[in-house]
Structures are given as structure tokens and as C-alpha cells.
Amino acid sequence: LKEPWGAVSHDCLEPPVVPGAPTRSLLRRVPVHTIFESHPEDGVCAIAISQDSKYLVTISAGTEQVKRISISQLGANGILTFEFQDYVLFNPQNPHEFVSNSKKQVLFYVWVSRDVGSSWLLSPQTFKCLVGQYSQSVFHFNNTQALTATSTGKLVVWDMDDPRTLPEELPAKPHGIIPAKVVSMQKEGLTVLQTLESCVVTGDVTGKVKFYDGQLRILAIYSYDKVGPIQSISFSTTLPSPSSPGDLSDSSNFVSLTLNRNFILSTSDATMFHVATDSTNFERLLEEPKKAVNAIACHPQEPFVAVGSHCGLLKVWDYKETKYLVSRIFPETGIQCLCYDPEGYFLAAGFTDGSVHILDAISLQSICEEFQFSQGPVTHISFSHDSKYLATADEKYTVTVYRKVLQNGSKCWEHLAGLESHYKPIRTILFGVHSDSNEPRLLSLGEDRQLVEYDLKSSIKDHLVVTHRDRLEQDAVPLCLVWYPKLSTESFFLTANNYYKMKLYNTTTKMCR
């Protein structure tokens, strides 16, 4: 960035080398300047920077109709009453002009007063056709027009009725801007609109990227079946070298060089692709959860963390090196809970369709067929201390137990038994160790205030034995259960309830201490 933020040197981006310290592959990002009071109440929903890097424009994310558009340099602020604006862009040829749009309105701004140049709310009567909702707006590189993309695959062309002048020669009144025509580009909705040198670039809901010349004639199309709706496109700043010194004198050759720029695109389904224009190859760079992250588990020995989402994406990261390791997608269902076994060999996952997968902790490949014994989404999953048992709880108030057995000389997992042991949602399933032996001990705690203990040793196929049922609360609802650290000869487990109280219970007598 240039003034007034100051120049950025490479020295401040590269972390200093400390003898004996581990090297890091990532650069340290150092803020050059922070604006604290841009929109402190609501946050920022749109931002743009001028071509000369001197001006920054932001739009508040507030839902109210009065929008505060702030231009950062001179501290100027304007209060404007218009529709919710969610996109903004500077005129690359004039830093004193910018455009913003909502779904139904486009605003043009000229920085000569606190007035807005023009605003338009298009309707079918404007052009006698269905225009759709606005997505993004840009200034045309011919410097006499602007373009707005719509959800019906059209481009609205705006004509500036005043000629472009230098900033110091701008008239007192804002420029007049009129909608000239609507150009039907395609049937699918347009989500991204950019200008790149002498090309107009669009991205749409089907994942296609198209290049047009200044007269909106098609030049090139890039598409890939597995790309979702495009959210943004970023082009390489490196222009391909011309084959001869005179090539750039020919505008057609210049357009050809522009089309050869590689670019990165991001989609609404949280995926990023790198597109090599010389081979039209789409390389998947990054895939993140498309829905909420509901499950997380840490490896017991390595600095690995597994993250599961409702979209079915399972990813493992090295949190020490902040490095992505491996991932797997389950397209038919969502991940609800995760758990590593104490030895770190297995990763168990419970899903929203009631299935349970036991995976190799490193490769994420299934080590056996999936289990489908739960009638509802699996909410909790846990291994015993010796990794011989796996227990789950589901939304149908059922506890299900699986065990590791020796079959044909190799270890595998099988379903042992399940029991609808509660009549309200289960909040915790907990493995422990019997005090007089090394046998696993299993307990479950529900919102029905019941603490249920199971006898795994006596349980047989399809019959889960219950040894104790204890009511822990009279009025409050218990929310969680954990083992208390062994700080004395007496052992305890700890509960917390919806009355903000914690209680210690003796693990043998179940008496509150």
C-alpha cells in the first residue's frame, strides 16, 4: 500500500531467524495500519481499494436501511439511505468514483460532494424483460460505461452521459448515468463480474468462467463439472511474455496474452481451484466444510486434530505446523461426532444417518464395514481405555456397544448389543476402569437424571446388561459427566447441571460429596 499507510518492506514480512529455533514455511503477516472505528457496531460486509492504493471504501454489515459508507483517508463519512448494499468497487481509471449494489439497486458515487451520482431500481418495465437480482458491478475499461451482472444471466449496460474528466475538472453536480440496455449473456445466473485489461470476465452458478471483449463477444470459456457456484476470481499478476517484441502493438495479441493468465477461483461450496489456462486444467487447492463443523477430536499422542462437518467432510490437521494432512468426504451423510482410540490407531466417526465408521487414524480408510445399528443420528462416541470396546449414543436415547474380536487370525470389530436405556436425550457416555480390576467400566448420563452403569463382561450378543441405575438430581437437569482426577484414595466423578452447579459423586456409592 502507498501513502498514507506507508510502504511495506519485505523485511517486516519475513520472521527473523533465531539460532536453534525451528524454521517456519509460512510468512508472518504484519499489519501495516488498522482502522478501528470504521463500523464498530455492525462490522464490514464489503470493501474495496482504489487502483492507486490511496483510498479504501467500506460498507457496514448492519441490517438497517441507513448505510454508512466511509472513505478512509480524509476521514470523510456520508449517511446514505438506500437498500442494503453488499458489493463495492472503485473505478480503476478514476479513484474518485466507485459503484456499489444491492440485490435490486445500483449506486454510482462521485467524490465531489456528499451526494450520490445516480441510483437505479430496475424493474421488468425498465427494459420490458426480467432483469433478476444484481450480483456485482464494474466500470467498463472504455471509460464511458459500467456493467452490472444479474441472477438471470444478463448484463445491464449503464451509459455515462457526461465525458470522463480529470478529478480536478469534475463538475459540481454528479455525473448523470442512465441504463442503456440489457444484454442476455446466458441462462444461468452470473455471480462474479470483473474487467481484466481489455476483457470482461464473468463467473456463474454452474462454475463456468467466460471471457468477453469490449463489445461483449465471447472469447474463451473455462468449465469443469465439479465446480460449484463461483464466488470470486483472482488472476495472476504476471503477464505471459510475447513471442516477439512487436506483439503487444497488436490489440488482438494483447487480448490473447490476457487470456493466458492463470487464475484462482473460489466457490460457494468452500472449494478453491487453480486454473492453468494453457491446459484448461482445474487443480483443487483447498476444500473446506460447506456446513457447520460439529465434531473435533485430538490424537492422543501426535499433534493431530480431526475435524468433521455436517457436509460429510473429514479433515486431519497438524496443529503444531498448521498443516493439512489428509481428508475424506462422505457425500451421503454428515459427521456428528469423532473419537480417537487411546492408542491412536483408530478414529471412530458417528454420522447423522445413524451409521458408525471405524477408520485408520492415518489414512482415514475404513478398516471394516460401516455399522448401522442406531435408529437416529449418533450424538456421542467413545473408546474404552484398552481399545477393546466402542460405545455410541444416539438421538433415540439408545446406547450401543461394539467390541474388538479376533477373526481368522486378524482383529476386527463387531456389534455387541444396544439398549434404549434413557427416555430423554443422552448427554454423556463415559468409559472408565473398575477399581478392583483392569476391566472397562461404561456409564451413560441423560437428561432424565439417570446415571446408568453397564456390565460389559456379562453382556452377550444383542443383550446389554445394566448393573446400576441412579438418579443424580431431583430438580436440576445434569448436562455432562467426567472423571475427577485421582487426588486422594477416594475416587469421584464430576457433574454439571443447568442450575450452574457442579457436584462430586463417589464412583462406588454414587453419594454426593
CA of 98: how far to CAs of 52, 91, 112, 174, in Å?
13, 5, 12, 12
Which residues share a beta bridge with 390? 383, 402
pLDDT of residue 29: 74
Helix (H, G, I), strand (E, B) or coil at 167: helix
CA of 30: how far to CAs of 8, 12, 64, 341, in Å?
9, 7, 34, 40
pLDDT of residue 104: 85
Q: What is the mean pLDDT of each run of 10 residues along the chain (513 residues)?
A: 36 39 54 84 89 89 57 46 82 89 86 58 67 91 90 90 50 62 93 92 94 92 89 85 48 63 90 85 86 94 96 94 91 94 95 96 93 94 95 96 87 93 96 90 96 95 95 95 92 96 94 92
Q: CA-based Rg of the chain, rounded to a whole angstrom?
A: 31
pLDDT of residue 162: 52
pLDDT of residue 4: 39
The identity of residue 147, as a single letter, is L
pTM of the model: 0.68
pLDDT of residue 83: 75
pLDDT of residue 164: 47
CA atoms within 13 A on the CB side of 211: 19
